[in-house]
Amino acid sequence: MNVVFRGKSMEILDEMVRQGFANTKSEAVRLAVINFGKERLSEAELVNRKLDQMDREVAEGKRKLLTAEEALGEYAKYLKKK
């Protein structure tokens, strides 16, 4: 993905590199995205979004839901039976 920065956003990237927060502008962008995620998106929210996406994919037939035995494969023999 190519992104063009101008004005204030370019100044911020330049300053992040100048002050040593990042070695390159690309790294500065990655750091900013991660910081945004930490500040604005809670881990619980991200997990719930992913689980909702997985539920949709199962319902649409795009993802298979495995049983414990299928997921464990050869180690299924160690499951405690009820």
Which distant-in-sequence residues (6+ apart) come within 8 Å of 22 by Cβ? 16, 28, 30, 31
Q: Residue ranges of the chain with pLDDT lower than 50? A: none
pLDDT attached to residue 44: 85
Judge whether 5 and 13 are in contact, CB under 8 Å: yes
Domain boundaries, the chain: 7-78
Residue 67, Cβ neighbours under 10 Å: how many? Answer: 8
Q: What is the DSSP letter of 81?
A: P
Contacts 24+ apart (CB under 8 A), 38-42: none
pLDDT tens per residue across span 51-72: 999 999 999 999 999 988 899 9
